[in-house]
Amino acid sequence: MQELPYNAINRAYCNQITRSSASVGANYRAARRAKSDADFLNKLKSVEEEADETIYFLELLLEFNQEYQQIIFPLINEGTEILKIIVASINTVREKMTHQKK
């Protein structure tokens, strides 16, 4: 992201991307230490929200920096893949919890 022009929009969006993407890692780490399936699920939902927020700000960044598509678009794709993995994990835990109740 250091290749992007330094201006108010890029600075604000890059700062937000830094915060939300760091939160993905921190919340995932917390999920790994969950005390129950319900706690794990709750923490994974936070990971999902932060990953989605990161993608959103990357998309906004792309809108204002079309000439840097080759840098930003792969990050959007990677974030989307991470989000898909998290959503699949959430669905797996939900299924497990549903089967345990029966």
Q: Does the global pTM surpass 0.85?
A: yes
In a domain, 55, yes or no: yes
In a domain, 85, yes or no: yes
Give pLDDT tens digits along the chain (102 positions).
789 999 999 999 999 999 999 999 999 999 999 999 999 999 999 999 999 999 999 999 999 999 999 999 999 999 999 999 999 999 999 999 988 876
In a domain, 3, yes or no: no
In a domain, 1, yes or no: no
In a domain, 69, yes or no: yes
In a domain, 2, yes or no: no
Structural domain harbouring 49: 8-101
The structure tokens 């330094």 sit at: 6
CATH number of the domain encompassing residue 78: 1.20.1440.60
* Number of domains making up the chain: 1
